[in-house]
Amino acid sequence: MKLLYTIGMDFLVVVRDVAPVLMVVLFFQFVVLRQRLPNTKLIIIGFISTVVGLYLFLIGLDMGIFPIGEAMAEKFSHPDKWLWTIIFAFCIGYSTTMAEPALLAVAQKAEEISSGALPSFYLRNAVAVGVAIGLSLGVYRIFSGDPLWIYILAGYVVTIILTFMAPREIVPIAYDSGGVTTSTITVPLVAALGIGLASNIPGRNPLIDGFGLIAFASVFPMVSVLSYAIAIKHINRRREVK
């Protein structure tokens, strides 16, 4: 009975969190637009499916993703394994980003709108490399104890410089790429890795050093995508000259 009570209360919490979104949509639909809901049954089924799916996702995080991330971080936290930890961060950053549904959706739309000029596969790889490099630097920062703001500020400075050098049409996509990387697959593992490392490395504070990895995963994809676009622009110019 206690287990059922806990499951029921957790489910109600998810309903409470999702309900404001539904209320806003219904308010504008009925009060502002003054229109009926199209396909009411499908909308109800979709809302229920969203709540159930979100609830199962949160359970999966608590039971699977967070524990395995913290366990691996504990094993990697030994000072002698800092290089392996950085390699692990690079690999996990690349692989999780390539699997991100949000990035896949953005990349496909970019390829569609550009009529194939911006292939989805290459864009996703550019973003994934940026996340991988960012997480590697973030893990190095946890080991070294350097201030977070130095790395983030440097990343944004480089991003601003590259913005003026990159083709105009790639800049909005590059900026969006920095946001879609921090989604359902990447965030849980990255958060667990950062907190786990900071909790087990002597002299590190989980509250101060454990967080911040997600910021690395947001900034450096913009750098990598802008750099990729600049490189492609120069390659195309050389081909035209020849």
Claim to verify: residue 40 and residue 150 sit in the same structural domain: no
**At residue 103, does pLDDT exceed 90?**
no
Q: Which domain holds residue 189?
A: 77-241
The 10 Å CB-count burial string (b at 16+, else e) for 42-67 is: eeeeebeeebeeebeeeeebeeebbe
Tell me the mean pLDDT in the region 200-227: 88
How far apart, in whole angstroms, are the C-alpha atoms of residue 1 and residue 3?
A: 5
Claim to verify: residue 114 and residue 225 sit in the same structural domain: yes
E strand or H helix at 225: helix 213-241
Residue with tokens 């990035």: 103
Provide the pLDDT for residue 242. 63
Claim to verify: residue 117 and residue 28 sit in the same structural domain: no
**At residue 129, does pLDDT exceed 60?**
yes
Q: How confident is the model at residue 1 (pLDDT cuts 50, 70, 90)?
A: low
How far apart, in whole angstroms, are the C-alpha atoms of residue 75 and residue 61?
A: 20
Examine residue 102 and state whether it is found in any structural domain, yes or no: yes
Examine residue 71 and state whether it is found in any structural domain, yes or no: no
Name the pTM for this structure.
Answer: 0.78
Claim to verify: residue 38 and residue 141 sit in the same structural domain: no
**At residue 66, does pLDDT exceed 80?**
no
Provide the pLDDT for residue 216. 92
Beta strands in 110-239 (DSSP E): none
Domain final position from 64, 96, 112 = 64
Examine residue 72 and state whether it is found in any structural domain, yes or no: no
Claim to verify: residue 150 and residue 234 sit in the same structural domain: yes
How far apart, in whole angstroms, are the C-alpha atoms of residue 210 and residue 27?
A: 40
Claim to verify: residue 201 and residue 223 sit in the same structural domain: yes
Examine residue 136 and state whether it is found in any structural domain, yes or no: yes
Claim to verify: residue 40 and residue 83 sit in the same structural domain: no
Provide the pLDDT for residue 156. 93
User: What percent of the chain has pLDDT above 90?
Assistant: 21
Claim to verify: residue 148 and residue 171 sit in the same structural domain: yes
Q: How confident is the model at residue 71 (pLDDT cuts 50, 70, 90)?
A: confident
Name the residue with higher pLDDT: 170 or 99: 170
**What is the rounded average pLDDT for all residues in the chain?**
83
Specify the number of domains making up the chain. Answer: 2
Claim to verify: residue 146 and residue 212 sit in the same structural domain: yes
137-153 pLDDT, tens per residue? 999 999 888 999 999 99
